[in-house]
Chains A and B, each alone.
Chain A
Amino acid sequence: MPLLLRRIWHAAPIATVTLGVALAISVFFAVRLVAFWIYWADPAHRDQGIEGWMTPGYVAYSWDVPRAVTFDALDLPQRSGAPVTLADLAQARGVPVAALSADLRAAIAAHRGDGGAP
């Protein structure tokens, strides 16, 4: 094996180094791919929580409730074109994201309890 390596090193040094780097990159991403695959295959990680980057519309979509439920829970007018994230909303109102998230969960639970959703 070292002999082969020496032969290709003498024939094409730049390509040999690049090949080594490319293989290292491939292994790096392969390991990460497997790790993330295992992580996301775990049912405990499947449900997305309510997080700061999400918009009220996104929460409604991913929790499968009408948009009115999340927008009403946050006292927001339902308009399109200017989405706002929960993090921005929390900052503007001076409350933690967790408070908005709790309001949303309560509203979603109430909506589902009313039999409004299957």
Chain B
Amino acid sequence: MSESLFALVSDWGPVLIFASAYLSCLAVPIPTSLMMLSGGAFVASGDLLLWQVVAAALTGAILGDQTGYLIGRHGAAPLVAHVARSPKRRAALARARALVDRRGGVGVFFSTWLVAPLGPWVNFIAGTTGLSWRRFSVWDVLGETIWVSVYVGLGFGFASRIEAVADLLGNAVGLLAGLALAGAMALWIRGALQAREANRNGAG
């Protein structure tokens, strides 16, 4: 599979990398990391230009993240208004927003590169819960810069063994994303158990 993808990248170059970076930041399942790897390899082989590959990947990813954030912010507004009907819920939502605004930037940062498969969802959530646009954008641009540099850099550095790097990296990233999701669920379950415990003690 990765071989036909390499062929596509050499045929379409930066245009394809831009489009796939944009779409994959909106949760369309496209292997953009592989495309950036092969883009880096074709820079090494003299077929593509470095600045074009980097610029295409970076602008595509940042515009995609911004779109996801805006969809979360405006698209989910009716849903949020519906949830926040009662004063109690409104207070809980306000607390959640304060937490996301204080800590959410770091989450956005890591979700753009270390656990990239979770990125699109984090963007939607950041928009929905009202992480400030400026904070979102700063962390997002930092994270995407790392994402693009790492993949294009690895593709460039290991250009002659690109198939091996693609296979290993793809699965390593999948493993990391799975573990991150499992960790988040473990935290959620712990919170739910503590809440039940507190409820029971309060009632008894």
Contact = CB atoms under 8 A, between A and B. Distances in A.
Q: Is the interface of A mostly helix, strand, loop or mixed?
A: helix
A32 interface: yes
Interface residues of B, number: 40
Contact of A60 (B45, B163, B192): B45
Given A46-B161, A58-B47, A88-B11, A32 B171 contact: yes
B193 interface: yes
Interface residues of A, number: 44
B41 interface: yes
Interface of B: 3-4, 6-7, 10-11, 13, 41-42, 44-49, 159-164, 167-168, 171-172, 174-175, 177-179, 181-182, 185-186, 188-189, 192-193, 195-196
Given A29-B175, A48-B163, A83-B48, 8 more contacts: A8-B193, A11-B196, A19-B185, A25-B181, A26-B175, A29-B174, A40-B168, A67-B46
24 contacts: A10-B196, A12-B189, A16-B185, A18-B185, A19-B182, A19-B185, A25-B177, A25-B178, A28-B174, A30-B175, A32-B171, A33-B168, A36-B171, A52-B3, A53-B3, A55-B47, A58-B42, A61-B160, A67-B46, A80-B49, A81-B49, A83-B10, A83-B42, A87-B7
